[in-house]
Amino acid sequence: MAGGKETPRQKMIGMMYLVLTALLALNVSKQVLEAFAAIEDNTQRSNENLYIKGQENLQALSEEYLTLKDPKDMAKKAKIKTYLSIIEKLDKETGKMIQSIDNIKYELLAEAGEEFDKNSPKLKDKNFIIWSKFNAKEPVKPIRFNLFKVQNKDNFDVPMHALVGSEISKITSKEGLKLWNDFKALRKNMVQIAGTYSEGVGQDGKIKSWKLKVGDINKFADSKDLQSQLRKMIISSGNNVNPEDTSTLQLVYELMSKNEMDEYGEDKKIIHWLGRTFDHAPLVGALASLSSLQNDILQAREKLIDLLKRKVSTGEFSFNQIEAFVAGDAVVTNGGELKISVTMAAYDSDKNPTVIINGGGNQETGKGVVVVKKIATGNGEQTISGTVTILSKSYIPYTKTWEHKYVIVAPQGSLSLPEMSVLYSSGWNNKIVPVVAGSVNSSINVEGGKATKTSWTMDGAKYDGYYVVVTQGVKNVFITLTGKDKDGKSKNFGRFKYKVKPFPNAVVSGTTISKSTGFIANVSLGADSPFTGLTFNVTGGTIDDIPFNGKVVPGSLVSKIRVGKKVPIELFYTRNGVKSAIPAQGILKVSN
């Protein structure tokens, strides 16, 4: 276009088209740049709101601290003092980072040739770039900028040079690397400061101390992967995190996490976050990204201060009804101790709680309480758990986990057959399920054999019990049954005698052998056998005194015997629990 062997007229038309295209591009670019300024303005408004909300919670804590003068409130006052100290440390760290980012904004504006006086701001004056200045009494509050007044909004060189370098494939900017490393360090410090503290002496007389140390997670596939890595790090050895803090601490870490190296551009090269963020970004776009970083910081700060405030105040929640509430043992036996807890429960009848039941179940809601119903299956101690959520006055959800342990016991009443109290020997796993009503768990002690705790499934039902193997040569086995109640106290439920019988031998399965196809040798205990889990392996035998190997009896071995005659067969087999060969006899009728 406008070159080569074109005529003067063609060249003129081409040049006019080029100019028109450039003008159109400039118009679109101006709209985009104005949009960047608008986005940055909204981000700064959000930053102000987050700062104010954090300050309101901080002020509420400070005021409550000053009003607590009664001796009985000293424990609560000590807690608030601890939390105020944590917030002071958080603000010291976050303040430094907020100010550092603001200084980078000043540098970018100055290098781009913008004229401003940071010491003489004019709030909401459209003719001034700087609308506020740093206040030592509010170190966490960002400077307010007016990017609509910036003249060189489309300056691509200054942000790239200042925060990346000449190539996005290699970050050479010391300013950019310092920004990245400081942001990572702040993420770590905020979570560790908020997760490491002592709350004073608890009801058990021990000091409740919590400790959290985290590292850097700078590579993750998605938020689910980040959460997985984070959970492993938080529960790692050496950490002792307050369960009430865990979800908020995880959320704060996630808010301030960014993939350091990731794919970028059409060629999907692996590029640093700085390169991906500030690669030829216009001045207003780079400033918007920096304000977004401040937003991440202020969100994290607000959530941590809110967490600390909620530990000592429920002012965000409303209650208009009070009911007596009783909870306690789900099982008690005759002569055992019943233990229940009685208290008053306050709730908002307009905001009933929402309950989630892990593993399913039914629920009925009414009077601030959710009644959970679930069919009890299995035996012994069980646990049901889930979450319960209530809404604050502002309808912000607040969720806690819940858990309840209960005991399933078999219905009372039993029948015994004294003559059938039998255990089988010869390496057989006799299956025994102990049941002791009113106990959370049970155990057995075997005299004359060995018990192994295990579980198995039979007819679709799962059983938890023991395999009992009788010692060879023993004629009687004695089993002592014990159980533990909810308080861990043991109780003896009796000593039971079992006669020992040899395990029954298998018999040959089948009645005929064919001269043409032979016979597949199998053994079994018969259709009426009560045993499950049996496996047999035929290793060989004899038919009409002629030996064979394996389980296939060739028809040639009876080829000379007339049809209809019956011949004896003896098989040798092994079964699970016994390695030595066991004989089994039978009679087969010869057929064609």
Q: What pLDDT sits at residue 15?
A: 63
CA distance 437 to 409: 5
Query: Average of pLDDT values for 25-49?
Result: 79
Strands (E), 300-373: 321-328, 340-347, 354-357, 362-366, 369-373
Give the SS3 label for residue 287.
Answer: helix
3-state secondary structure 199-231: EEECCCCCEEEEECCCCCCCCCCCHHHHHHHHH
Q: Does 1 or 311 have the greater pLDDT score?
A: 311
Q: Does 89 or 319 have the greater pLDDT score?
A: 89
CATH of domain 418-501: 2.60.40
CA distance 36 to 452: 70
- Pairing assessment for the beta strands 354-357 and 362-366 based on DSSP bridges: unpaired
| CB-count exposure of residue 449 (10 Å: 0-12, 13-18, 19+) | buried
Which residues are CB-contacts of 31 (< 8 A; sequence separation ≥ 6)?
none
Give the SS3 label for residue 187.
Answer: helix
Residue 131: name the closest of 106, 120, 39, 140 by CA: 120
Least confident stretch, 2-6, 11-15, 253-257: 2-6
CA distance 188 to 198: 19
Mean pLDDT across the chain: 85
Q: Six-digit token pair at 277?
A: 């963020």
Answer whether 526's CB lies under 8 Å from 504's CB.
Answer: no
Q: Six-digit token pair at 197?
A: 């503290």
Which residues are CB-contacts of 81 (< 8 A; sequence separation ≥ 6)?
65
Where residue 6 falls among pLDDT bands split at 50, 70, 90? Answer: low
Query: Average of pLDDT values for 413-420?
Result: 62
The CB density around residue 58, as the number of other CB atoms within 10 Å, is 22
| pLDDT, tens digit (0-9, with 9 covering 90-100), for 195-247 | 999 976 655 567 788 999 999 999 999 999 999 999 999 988 889 999 889 99
Where residue 266 falls among pLDDT bands split at 50, 70, 90? Answer: confident
Q: What pLDDT sits at residue 52?
A: 95
Answer whether 147's CB lies under 8 Å from 284's CB.
Answer: yes
Least confident stretch, 129-143, 297-311, 314-328, 567-581: 314-328
Q: What pLDDT sits at residue 409?
A: 60
CA distance 250 to 191: 8
Which CATH class for the 507-591 domain?
mainly beta
User: How is residue 522 annotated by DSSP?
Assistant: E
Q: Six-digit token pair at 415?
A: 């029948």
Answer whether 54's CB lies under 8 Å from 299's CB.
Answer: no
Instruction: Provide DSSP, 34-84.
Output: HHHHHHHHHHHHHHHHHHHHHHHHHHHHHHHHHH--SGGGHHHHHHHHHHH
| CB-count exposure of residue 522 (10 Å: 0-12, 13-18, 19+) | middle
CA distance 380 to 436: 9
Which CA distances in Å does 29 have to 148, 284, 509?
14, 12, 89
Give one word for 460, left, alpha or beta, with left for phi > 0 and alpha for psi -120 to 50. Answer: left
| CB-count exposure of residue 68 (10 Å: 0-12, 13-18, 19+) | middle
Answer whether 229's CB lies under 8 Å from 220's CB.
Answer: yes
Least confident stretch, 232-236, 302-306, 319-323, 493-497: 319-323
Which CA distances in Å does 61 have to 94, 201, 301, 316, 382?
19, 21, 15, 13, 41
CA distance 533 to 522: 16
Least confident stretch, 30-34, 198-202, 412-416, 452-456: 412-416
Q: What pLDDT sits at residue 273?
A: 95
The terminus-to-terminus CA distance of the chain in angstroms comes to: 98
Instruction: Provide DSSP, 442-465.
Output: EEEEEESEEEEEEEEEETTEEEEE
Residue 384: name the closest of 365, 356, 354, 411 by CA: 356
Q: What pLDDT sits at residue 70?
A: 85
| Helix pair angle (246-255, 174-195), 10° resolution | 170
| pLDDT, tens digit (0-9, with 9 covering 90-100), for 446-501 | 999 999 999 988 888 888 899 999 998 999 999 999 988 767 788 888 899 999 99
Where residue 28 falls among pLDDT bands split at 50, 70, 90? Answer: very low
Answer whether 450's CB lies under 8 Å from 404's CB.
Answer: no
Answer whether 219's CB lies under 8 Å from 261's CB.
Answer: yes
Residue 283: name the closest of 151, 107, 114, 159 by CA: 159
Instruction: Provide DSSP, 475-489.
Output: SEEEEEEEEE-TT--
> Which residues are bridge partners to 482 per DSSP?
443, 492
Of 3-7, 165-169, 173-177, 385-389, give the range with the top mean pLDDT.
173-177
The CB density around residue 179, as the number of other CB atoms within 10 Å, is 21
Where residue 354 falls among pLDDT bands split at 50, 70, 90? Answer: confident
Which CA distances in Å does 472 have to 85, 425, 427?
71, 7, 8
Q: Six-digit token pair at 528?
A: 């009426």
Q: Where in the chain is the domain with CATH 2.60.40?
A: 418-501, 507-591
Answer whether 400's CB lies under 8 Å from 388's CB.
Answer: yes
Map tokens 């400077």 to a residue.
Answer: 143
- Which of 133-152 are b and which e, b meaning 16 or more Cβ less than 10 Å from the residue's Cβ? ebeeeeebbbbbbbbebbeb
Residue 313: name the closest of 72, 89, 63, 69 by CA: 63
Which CA distances in Å does 43 have to 39, 111, 144?
6, 23, 11
Give one word for 34, left, alpha or beta, with left for phi > 0 and alpha for psi -120 to 50. Answer: alpha
User: Looking at the predicted structure, is the pLDDT value of residue 335 above 70?
Assistant: no
